Structure 1
Amino acid sequence: MERLIHLSDLDIDYSSLSDNFKDLTHLAAKVAGTEISLVNLIDSYTQWTIGNHGLDVDQTPREDTVCQYTIMSDDQLEVPDLTADERFNKKDFVNDPMSLRYYFGIPLKDREGINIGALCVMDTKFKTMSPEKIELLKIIAGEIVNRLKSYKAMDDLKSQVNEANESKKKVAHDIRGPLAGIIGLSQIISEQGKSANIDEVMDFINLIHSGSKSILDLADEILSEDKEVVNQHSNTQFHLSSFRDKLKELYGPQAISKQLQLQFNVNQETQYIPFSKNKLLQITGNLISNAIKFTPVGGKVTVGLDLIVKSDKNVLSISVSDNGVGISKDEIASILEGNSHTTKGTSGEKGYGFGLSLVKHLIEKLEGQLEIRSELNQGTTFEVYLPQNNS
């Protein structure tokens, strides 16, 4: 659970980083002398490949990976012959067309020493890895983690810039009213001054008028700059339409792999109102993966996205429904207490017992609510409500 929380704190869009690690995966393959090199992050249900060389892959069910064992080790994992290891000799990757034989993996450790993923190299031929090569691969793994930290820091900085610009915009709005009043007053005094023919008063009033007009123009300039900056940093936000598209991209392959229908319903009236993307992919992704896991082949998973507009705080509503095996009342109570346990999926998918506990934890951190409705053998609906700061 602690490992998953550390991974969720990075708040990564797993589909957005593939171009950022091409040099390092290529270098790792060259150092190791292997055909394949991958950078993998592993969450509750899925291994997400955020960098690859020699193998075009985006995601893999966690139970079908070798790296799930690498993240359990402190140092490294070497499998000299995948066909001779009972953990892997029945996996698809040891058969045609991949026919993989050799694996070497190094955990990706964050600053607290928690393993969030793995750098791995693989080959169709048997290999040996010298101590010198292992040390070089560990250096590359460290650079991968440093880059992940840098991307997170940049995202945080963009969020702070957005907040600062929002404050600046409010200040600009606040000063426009008083300044407009000063200008109007100075115009009245100026007109009275002309009729009284008071030259010195006129000169002073004209200076006030000119200075106030300049400040008003500056306020307008600040407001126009805010619009540009907010648009430049729109990647720290979602709206319902872009949120739906991202979920389709990330979790559509999982549904197709299990021959399920994955349907999205979006409120058309509020689909372009922006809201923060903070932790949304982690929360909703875990719920979708969980629904896919417990829905039989040929079933259906429906995701509903809505933004409830309110005067004080908008509320993002997310629902994930399936027509799967359902959850008992005791299990629902356990989930809501944050104590969900591992269960195998409808196609024998291995469970790890942390996905829904992580969802509960993240929702609570965002001051949201989680509701669950279910009937055994008829399906389950998870409903999430997350308050959003109105812009």
Structure 2
Amino acid sequence: MANNSIPIPENELARIMTLSNLDLDFTNLEDSFKDLTLLATKVTGTEISLINIVDSYTQWTIANQGIDLQQMPREDSVCQYTLMSQQPFEVKDMSIDDRFSSKFYVNSPGGLRYYYGLPLQIAKGLNIGALCVLDTQVKALSPEKIELLEIIAQTVVKRLKSIHAMELLNAKLAESNAAKKKAAHDIRGPLAGIVGLSELISDQGAATNVPELMEYIGMINKSGLSLLELAEEILSEDQQQALADNEFNLPLFKEKLLKLYQPQAKVKALDFEVYLEAGNENVPFSKNKLLQIAGNLISNAIKFTPERGKVVVSLGLVLNADEKLLNITVNDTGVGIDADAVERIIIGKAESTPGTQGEKGYGFGLSLVSHLVEALNGKITVSSSPGSGTRFEVLLPQKL
């Protein structure tokens, strides 16, 4: 436990690093897990079941049954306590538990009473979330029901790992296609030169009366044309492809960020906007770790920006002859940070502090961003001073 009895696992940094390695897109997982939440309610006889993933700032509900819930601040959740050990966490009556009795989902009419949660252990000792069942009535689960619930939790973990494995395979396939395109591009120029030269020799050598030589020149010309047509076909096919599963373009990236973080901004009455820099809007780029990097920066900005403030995200893609560079900028009108804090963020040793409305600090969100950017050979810069807001800029090189 940490200050103010905030439940933080001792291995929190390793936990969120493991979660970031899964590179989950919380906007499109429901169809893969909806059947398991339905099964959990049927097995236990409870009204509600949720599969929750918990990052540095937010509890994300990737599938639900019996309640329409997509996210909530981590500090308001019950599942944050389930992360603390490898054992189930049970609260028979939340209305008489000081940790939860004042929460909106308990003290409202028809509020919740019962909670039973199982940690989702993705690796030894590393819990990334919880499978939980809830009810408006005080309940008790039999050992048989608990055993079945444990099997469902294990299935959730296996599916998460399978989704991650498929993403890795898609990434390898995309790399293969990119290599094919590069090879086609690289050989197109020399092939065109060979074809042109063979045609020139053929035209000038027609009067030499050397049939054997002319036959060889014709073979070179024919082979060169065939290879050139193949290269053109490969490049043409690539241009017509839709986005691969492991790719974003700027409009899709913007759509994801708005869907994920607009609800958080609305809670604090913040003006949250995402802008696209003109040009290259439809050029694909790898989505690897982008939601984790941008999401942590946006959540941090929301946390430290007072009510009716502003958080603005700018996304851009710069294409040069030898590089493709993705630019992510997050500006806020928040409380700002001093020079020492900026330095700690840059070196990946950011410390947690409470937000403008007393939001609990769980730490490591900005440290995670620093580690991820470094791993992707990118660069992060921070501009801020106390009372004047903060500007984060991330530059990430992308494969051409």
TM-score, scaled relative to structure 2: 0.89
Does the alignment pair 1:234 with 2:244?
A: yes
User: How many residues in Structure 1 have an aligned counterpart in Structure 2?
Assistant: 388
For the residues of structure 2 that align with 1:175 and 1:270, how far apart are their CA atoms?
Answer: 26
Instruction: Give per-residue Cα distances to partners, 1:337-359, cap 9 Å, x unaligned.
Output: 32222211111111111211111
Task: Say whether residues 1:169 and 2:191 are aligned partners.
Answer: no
Instruction: Give the alignment's Cα RMSD to 1 decimal.
Output: 2.3
8 Å CA contact retained: 2:332, 2:391: yes
The equivalent residue for 1:17 is 29
TM-superposed CA distance for 1:234, in Å, is 2.8
Q: Tell me which moved more, 103-112 or 172-181.
A: 172-181
Q: What is the distance in 2 between the residues matched to 1:232 and 1:273?
A: 10
Asked if the contact 1:158–1:233 (Cα under 8 Å) also holds between the matched residues in 2, the reply is no
The answer for unaligned runs of 5 or more in structure 2 is 1-12
Distance 1:180 1:10 in 2: 44
SS in 1 for 2:235: helix
Q: 2:137 aligns with which of 103, 125, 138?
A: 125
Q: Name which of 370, 373, 382 aligns with 1:363.
A: 373
Q: Which amino acid aligns with 1:345?
A: G
Structure-to-structure mapping, 1:61-210, within 5 angstroms:
61-187=73-199, 208-210=220-222
Aligned-residue sequence identity (percent) comes to: 55
Aligned-partner Cα distance in 2 for 1:59–1:347:
18
Selected match of 1:250 from 237, 246, 260: 260
**1:286 Cα deviation from its structure 2 partner:** 0.9
Does the 8 Å CA contact 2:243/2:284 hold for their aligned counterparts? no
Q: Taking structure 1 as reference, are residues 299 and 203 closer, same or farther at Cα in structure 2, changes over 3 Å only?
A: closer
- 3-state SS in 1 of match to 2:123: coil
Deviation, 1:168, is 1.2
Instruction: Find the residue that maps to 1:25 and give its secondary structure.
Output: helix
CA contact (8 A) 1:255 1:292 kept: yes
Tell me what 1:353 maps to: 363
Mark the CA change 1:177 to 1:315 in structure 2 (over 3 Å): closer, same or farther: closer
Match of 1:267 in 2: 277
Q: Distance in 1 between matches of 2:86 and 2:161?
A: 20
Distance 1:360 1:210, change over 3 A: closer
TM-score (norm 1): 0.91
- Give the secondary structure class of the aligned counterpart of 1:161: helix
- 2:293 and 2:372 in contact (8 A); partners too: yes
Tell me, yes or no, if the aligned pair for 1:28 and 1:140 is still in contact at 8 Å. Answer: yes
Q: 2:234 aligns with which of 213, 219, 222?
A: 222
Tell me whether 1:310 sits opposite 2:310 in the alignment.
no
Deviation string for 1:233-255 (max 9, x for gaps)?
43322233222221111100000
State whether residues 296 and 324 of structure 1, in contact with CA within 8 Å, keep that contact through their aligned partners in structure 2.
yes
Measured after TM superposition, the shift of residue 64 of structure 1 is: 0.7
Whole-angstrom CA distance in 1 between matches of 2:248 and 2:158: 26
Distance 2:236 2:332 in 1: 46
Letter of the 1:18 partner, please give it.
Answer: E
In structure 1, distance between residues paired with 2:63 and 2:139? 22
Query: 2-side partners of 1:177 and 1:251: how far apart?
Result: 47
| 1:151-205 per-position Cα deviation (integer Å, ceiling 9, x unaligned) | 1111111111111112112222333344444444555566677656666666666
State the SS of the aligned residue for 1:88: coil
CA distance in 2: counterparts of 1:202 and 1:252, whole angstroms: 70
Deviates further, 88-97 or 34-43: 88-97
- 1:79-130 CA-to-partner distances (Å, cap 9, x unmatched) read 1111121111110111334511111111111134410111011111121111
CA distance in 1, matches of 2:291, 2:342: 22
Secondary structure of the structure 2 residue equivalent to 1:224: helix
**Structure 1, unpaired ranges of 5+:** none
Mean Cα displacement is larger for which, 163-172 or 64-73? 163-172
TM-aligned CA distance change 1:291 to 1:80, over 3 Å? same
* TM-aligned CA distance change 1:218 to 1:246, over 3 Å: same
Amino acid paired to 2:270: L
Residue of structure 1 equivalent to 2:7: none
